[in-house]
Homo-oligomer: A and B are copies of this chain.
């Protein structure tokens, strides 16, 4: 008689964004006359840049002829894309990463969910609180997180690193020693970040205690300040302690196109065992590559035209971020983030809970955001808005928020 993986049953409720989608759909159904403005999930709204559209059409045409048709992709991804990544994202920033350390995938969500498979089940993870839910949930499913305590909303075997306005959203080294440390910088959900010097301390710490940092840099394109690192490999010693996850979703609007990559340096080892080899084995066994046409689209992101067009696209969203930040500040809200990231993190007014504020905004302003508590207990009393709407919608949402 088969038995299920009962770690799944420990998960409280459904995946955060599925819950929000259900709530919003129910509200829409009950109020078909209301026009909702969605600043909830981090989904982009601007169309793909012309350089990317061109690359897609061109590669679709290639697929129409036997001579230029492409079947299964190489295990790690096409050389043309991995080379463009290395040149533009690493060599140009002085990071020593080679093309065969890049693993192309269909997005950072899959990679952040799958990467834990490389580690023993008794390894202890440390996460920021609040945090992107996938890091914890994927470890719950694997059975690495112990027991969930409903009163504290915490797992017994997870080390939480609070990030609140009290510590300026900078995590401190935990008292208990972790084996795996998830860091997302610029941060989702708080929109805040840390300096290169601060990240260097984390790299030194990880090397000292023999931990691996899983570094999610999905939002690096939004960095505007000089001393914020774009890659963990800007720090000395990161090649022996860090895996970096990257996404094309936010810098190039690929949320519906699906492309990402993971960097596993060959120097990252446990004794003689290379994590690079292990990830290659996983990729070869359980994954079959990103579509050829999508990898060509990814290559176009690094073309001269693509870079110029996407710089404008990022600036478009960051204009929203600045408008939300200043608008809400004027309206008396306490607001964080939005300078090096497309997320604005605000304190809910009058000590409302995050979900109460979610319902309040949905019902009274028809604006959809994300409750901070959905990202962890220290997110309680906070709320996330994204800058990924259109200028018009963002302006309209601000007007509604100010009118409350």
Contacts and interface: CB of A to CB of B under 8 A. Distances in A.
A31 interface: no
A101 interface: no
A392 B4 CA distance: 49
A161 to B, nearest CB: 17
19 contacts: A1-B210, A2-B120, A2-B210, A3-B119, A3-B122, A14-B281, A15-B285, A47-B65, A47-B69, A53-B60, A53-B63, A56-B63, A71-B255, A106-B106, A109-B286, A113-B285, A138-B285, A258-B289, A291-B291
Contacts of A113: 285-287
A110 interface: yes
Interface stretch (A37-45, A84-92, A396-404): A37-45
A292 interface: yes
Contact of A256 (B257, B273, B291): B291
A30 interface: no
Contact of A4 (B44, B50, B273): B273
Contacts of A253: 69, 71
Interface in A324-351: none
Interface stretch (A5-13, A220-228, A355-363, A376-384): A5-13
Given A258-B290, A285-B137, A64 B48 contact: yes
Contact of A71 (B44, B61, B66, B211): B44
Nearest to A41: B72
A399 to B, nearest CB: 20
Interface string A18-45: 1001000000000000000000010111
A275 B2 CA distance: 11
A64 B257 CA distance: 12
Interface residues of A, number: 84
Interface in A58-107: 60-61, 63-66, 69-73, 75, 106-107
Closest 9 CB pairs of A and B: A113-B286, A1-B210, A3-B120, A15-B284, A43-B71, A2-B179, A71-B255, A70-B256, A109-B288
Contact of A286 (B110, B258, B293): B110
A83 to B, nearest CB: 18
Given A14-B284, A56-B60, A270-B4, A72 B255 contact: yes
A180 B1 CA distance: 9
A141 interface: yes
